[in-house]
Amino acid sequence: MFPNAKAEVCVSNFLLRGVGPLSLSPSHSSSCFKMLFSYCVINTVSRCEFFFCPCVQFTVTPLCCPSRSSILSGRYPHNHGVRNNSVSGNCSSAGWQKGPESEALPVYLSKQKYQTFFAGKYLNQYGSKAGGGVGHVPLGWDQWHALVGNSQYYNYTLSVNGKEEKHGDVYEKDYLPDLIDKHWLLRQPTNPMPNSSVGFLDEAYRKRWRTLLSVDDLVEMLVQKLKDIKELNNTYIFYTSDNGYHTGQFSLPIDKRQLYEFDIRVPLLVRGPGIKANITVQAPVLNIDLTPTILDIAGTNLSSVNTDGFSYLPLMAPSLRNGSARSFFLVEYSGEGQSTEDPSCPKLGPGVSECFPDCVCEDAFNNTYACVRALEGPNDLQYCEFADSESFVEVYNMTSDPHQLENIVKKVDPAVLQAMNQRLIKLQSCVGSSCREVKGARLLL
C-alpha cells in the first residue's frame, strides 16, 4: 500500500501459500534464504540490514481460507466464522462479505487515505457464483488483481478490478509470478509409506523450492523499485505465510490441517523504519496480529478496530511503541469428512477426506481440535483437545521434545492439565479485547 500526502509510510506484504518453518533455513537453498531477506537480494547476506525476524510466528488455524480470513480480519476463526475452504464453511461467502470482510484490514487503511493494491490468491472460494462471482471486489482495495478460486499458475482466471481476465497454459507467457501418540489420523497407516509415495513427496518438496525462486525474483524487483523511487527506507515490508505444510512427516503425505509445528509455524520477516538490524524476538506472534500491526503503523486508533490480535510494533520497534507480549494463544481447526466412503478405500468408511492413493487420509470429521500453546520461559507447552468420541488429548513439552514425538498427557501433573483446560475454555469463547486479556498463573512441569 502507498500513502497519500497525509500518510507517512508505505507497507508491502508478501503472503505465501503454505510455507512452513523450514523455509527459513539457509541450509536448504542459498537463493531462497536470500529471497527471505528483501534487502539481501541486492546485497550479500552478511550486509543485510534493518530486519526483524521473530521466528516464532504461528497461524491460529492451519488451513488456507480460515487462516487468510484471520490475517485479513485480525480475528480467531470462532469470531470470523470461516471454518474450512468451502462456501458452506463460510469461505468467501455472502456472510463473510457482509460481516468480517466489511471490517477487514483494507477498509481501515482506506479510511486512513492509503492507496491499497492486491494481487494473487485471496480466498479459496473467491470468484465463485455463490460468492458473488468475479465482479465482487472487497471493500477497501483500490487495485484488485485476484485469482479466481485456489492457487494455480497456469490456466487461471483473474478478477481485475471486477472484470474477468483469463490466462492460458503457455509457460513463457502465462506464468503468474512473471506477470505480477497421535490422534487416529496419524495412527491409520498399517504399513510404512510405499516407495512410490516417498518419491512423489521428494519431488513435491523440490518443486516447492523451485516455486519460491520466482518469489525471490518478485521480491528483488519490488525492493529495487522502492530503491529507485527512494521509498525503500520509508517502507515496511512483511514476508509471511498463511499456514505451514507437511510433506511426509509422521507418514502424513502432503497437506496441512494438523496441530503439529510443521503445519502451524510460519515464517515472518519484517523490515522498516525504527526496526533495528538483525534482531530476533522470541515472543509468539500470530497471523491475527498482522492487521492490527499494519493499522498501528498507519496511525489507526486500535481501540476503534474490531480484532482479536495485538500490534507487534512494540516488539519489533520498542523505540516507537511500548507494549507487552502474550505468553499463550489458541489454535483451532474444524475437520472435514465425506458423508460417503471413498470407493478406492472402502475399508475406511465414511467421515474421512483428502485420502492419498495408499489410503492414508489427511482429514476427517473428528479431526476437529482446539489447542493452547504456552511459551513461558522454560515451559514451552502444547495442550490439545479433540472433539471426538474418545475425548482425545495430546500434550507436548516443546522444550524437551520439539519434534512432538511423545504425547505426555499421562505423565503431566493433573493440575497443569486442568489449568490448560481452563485457558482453552476462555480462549475458545474470547472476543476482541478479551482475547488479549486472557491470563493465567505460570505453569510448572
Catalytic positions, written as ranges:
64
Give the residue among 69, 61, 78, 72 at the shortest CA–CA distance from 431.
Answer: 78
Q: Decide if 419 contacts 435 (C-beta within 8 A).
A: no
At a CB cut-off of 8 Å and minimum separation 6, what does 413 contact? Answer: 445
Cα–Cα distance list, 74 to 68, 160, 302, 305 (Å): 10, 25, 11, 9
Q: How far apart are CA 325 and CA 323, in angstroms?
A: 7
User: Which grid cell is 237?
Assistant: 515490508
User: Which grid cell is 56?
Assistant: 516464532
Q: How far apart are CA 291 and CA 354, in angstroms?
A: 31
DSSP H or E stretch at residue 437 = helix 433-437
Q: Three-class SS of residue 144?
A: strand
At a CB cut-off of 8 Å and minimum separation 6, what does 14 contact? Answer: 215, 218, 219, 237, 238, 239, 240
Which residue intervals of 112-244 are DSSP H helices? Answer: 171-174, 176-179, 184-187, 195-228
